[in-house]
Amino acid sequence: MSKGRLEAFSDGVFAIAITLLVLDLTVPKGQPDGGLWAALGREWPSYFAYLVSFLVIGIMWVNHHTVFEKVRQVDRAVLFANLALLLFTSVIPFPTRLVAEYLTAAGDARVAMAVYSAVMTACAVCYGTLWLVITRDAGILHVHLDRAAERAALRRFGFGNLVYLATVGLSFLNPVATLAVHGAIAVYYCFDQLRTEGTGSAPDHPG
């Protein structure tokens, strides 16, 4: 099976999931006249959650391409691993809505944030698994990965998973800070992943 279709379908899911986030930004209704400014201000958790989830999905899309640029063809196992990743990616608007609704609730903010962090952890685990599945068979790749680079990537995935797992715990201590941490991780991955993965792979890219 060629990778073209997998990429097109994945692109579609990423693009739709990132754009559906806007539906979680709710317009305050039935305000007494003049109260809209304050009402919008009270919705700050929506904007914060929107921004972080946008960054997370955006960076996941970037890394998805960085990974598949190295891939020549896909088999059934890659397909499954990718579908699992898309499952958790396309679910992200749900915990985003949950956080937008409950981030300012005294106790439930922790539950909402823990669910958000758990979904992010699941995404990270799926990413690591996808990488493992892709690199288990040299025939799938069209660039040569030396053993050291492969292990470094795996270590980074493993470390990332631990960080994400830690955010689940952090959610119960400080939900707002946890959301900020998710944003920070997305920005970090943006810089780090691209620098490391980018070396040498761009010229090989056919498309």
Amino acid at 204: D
Biggest CA–CA distance in the chain, Å, is 65
For position 23 contacting a copy of itself by CB under 8 A, the verdict is yes
Judged by CB under 8 A, the stretch of 20-28, 136-144, 158-166, 177-185 that binds a copy of itself is 20-28
Rounded to the nearest 10°, the torsion over CA 34, 35, 37, 39 is -160
List the interface residues with a copy of itself, window 95-124 (CB under 8 A).
97-98, 101-102, 105-108, 111-112, 115
Q: Which of 86, 60, 72 is nearest to 185 (CA)?
A: 60
In eight-state DSSP terms, residue 105 is: S
For position 158 contacting a copy of itself by CB under 8 A, the verdict is no
For position 139 contacting a copy of itself by CB under 8 A, the verdict is no
For position 2 contacting a copy of itself by CB under 8 A, the verdict is yes
| DSSP state letters, 155-190 | HHHHHHHHHHHHHHHHHHH-HHHHHHHHHHHHHHHH
DSSP H helical ranges for 69-174: 76-91, 93-102, 108-135, 147-173
Residue closer to a copy of itself by CB (options 44, 80) is: 80
Shortest separation between residue 48's beta carbon and a copy of itself, angstroms: 13
List the interface residues with a copy of itself, window 32-51 (CB under 8 A).
33-37, 40, 50-51
Amino acid at 15: A
For position 91 contacting a copy of itself by CB under 8 A, the verdict is yes
Q: Helix 175-198 to helix 44-68 angle, to the nearest 10 degrees?
A: 20
Q: Which residues contribute to the site for a copy of itself (CB under 8 A)?
A: 1-2, 4-5, 7-9, 11-23, 25, 27, 29, 31, 33-37, 40, 50-51, 54, 58, 61-62, 65-66, 69, 73, 76, 79-80, 83, 86-87, 90-94, 97-98, 101-102, 105-108, 111-112, 115, 190-191, 194-195, 198, 202, 205, 207
